[in-house]
Amino acid sequence: MSAQVLIVDAFGLVLALSGFAMAFRQSFVRRLFGWSAPRSRPIRGDGDPVTYVLRISGTMIMVFGIALGTMVTLFSLA
């Protein structure tokens, strides 16, 4: 594999790890950006909007990183 493929794979890994942290380790991301934690868990709906934004965007970034690294690696091996 060439150095370009390894660079893209490393970038895809960084994206996947940061997306995972955004989606599933929200307390770390909130402390990193200085956002306050949700006050309490609501009984119905009306949750903290930042929670949903972090889940959705984190999942999208994680999947993009995985797909990018996989496609570039498989294309270079073909």
pLDDT digits (tens, 9 = 90+) for 8-23: 999 999 999 999 999 9
Identify whether the C-beta of residue 38 lies closer than 8 Å to the C-beta of residue 52.
no
pLDDT of residue 69: 94
Token match 């989606």: residue? 23
pTM for this model (two decimals): 0.80
pLDDT at 38 over 90: no
CA 37 to each of CA 17, 34, 41, 42: distance values in angstroms, whole numbers, following the listed order:
21, 9, 11, 13
Which residue ranges make up each domain of the chain?
A: 3-37+49-77
Between CA 71 and CA 63 the distance in angstroms is 12
Residue 12's nearest CA partner among 66, 71, 76, 77 is 66
